[in-house]
Amino acid sequence: MAFDPTREGQLTEDQLKWGYWWVTHKVQVRKIFAIALVVLDVALVGYGSFGFIDWFFLSGARERQEIGLLAETVTDFPYFHARFAPRELAIEGTSVLEAGEGSYDLATRVANPNPQWWANFNYQFLSGSEPLGALQRGYILPGEVKYLSGLGTKAASFPSGAEVAITDLVWHRVNNHIVRPDYAVWSAARLNFLLSDIKFQAPDPSDQLKVSRASFTLKNDSGYGYWKVGFFVALLRGEQVVAANYVTVSELRAGDVRPVEASWFSDLPPVDRVEITPEVNLFDDRVFIPPGQ
């Protein structure tokens, strides 16, 4: 009778061959499998032993030595703090300018030598130990040169030797994740104020009020609008400040062109040139006019 693989309970020819092979070779298969496990175990133990020996006697010893040397070289924290801390503000002498009977205009030029730090602070002018005028709040941007002023300060006598005292100075590092690609480019795009037609006009001889004027044309060539932008106006004879004033331009929108004028109602010495310094704190979001307003 022929073998029929479709009949239930019967094995195929291939199944019979496989069963016969397994019965005759299962002892050898078990030995091979056991030998493979032993070889793998020996390899793992050997690899672990090599890593252990390497860590304690070879590369690990060198690494521990290098870490020790590194610790010795970087523990000078005062050095690194001094190395990377912001440099001090450069403060020039204070100009004391007569501004009418019993009144004086005080102005001190201050420079921030740090390209990546800005600061805010309080300041007050002093004559000796006596305060002149009120305590004021100030700030200075990275790399900025500006004037701190006390215009119209009252004093019983000429405050010779006046100087500015800066207190409560707080430094802020520029956030390069926000200020891109760097502060110089970022600030130039926002402080793009074009000043033209800068003139000084001495009093007309027939003018009994003796009004002196400095004027200029301002164009906001940036893409930003500002609620207020201040301009410190200094009149100079050579390198000496002989008069100072401060004017504020309100709601200066992108593209605006404005005539600006500063006036003095007292006799002034001869003037060689006019120096105009814009002032706006780019790190204060409140100074910007939001788009659409």
Among the ranges given (30-44, 55-69, 179-193, 204-218), the one the predictor scored with the smallest mean pLDDT:
55-69
Contact indicator for 245, 239 with CB cutoff of 8 Å? no
**Higher pLDDT among residues 29 and 88, named by residue:** 88
Report cis status (omega within 30 of 0) of the bond before 181: yes
Question: pTM for the full model?
Answer: 0.72
How far apart CA 207 and CA 70 sit, in angstroms, is 76
Average pLDDT over residues 195-209: 88
| pLDDT tens for each residue of 99-114 | 888 999 999 999 999 9
With a cut of 90, say whether residue 273 has pLDDT above it. yes
pLDDT recorded at residue 118: 98
- Over the chain, what is the mean pLDDT? 87
With a cut of 60, say whether residue 119 has pLDDT above it. yes
How far apart CA 117 and CA 183 sit, in angstroms, is 10
Q: Which residues of 125-156 are buried (b: 16+ CB within 10 A; e: fewer)?
A: bbbeeeebbeeeebbbbbbbebbbbbbebebe
With a cut of 70, say whether residue 183 has pLDDT above it. yes
How far apart CA 94 and CA 115 sit, in angstroms, is 25
With a cut of 90, say whether residue 181 has pLDDT above it. yes
With a cut of 60, say whether residue 76 has pLDDT above it. no
* Closest residue by Cα to residue 215 from 231, 191, 192: 231
φ and ψ at residue 151, rounded to 5 degrees: -85, 140
How far apart CA 140 and CA 112 sit, in angstroms, is 7
pLDDT recorded at residue 122: 98
Percent of the chain topping pLDDT 70: 84
Eight-state DSSP code of residue 290: P
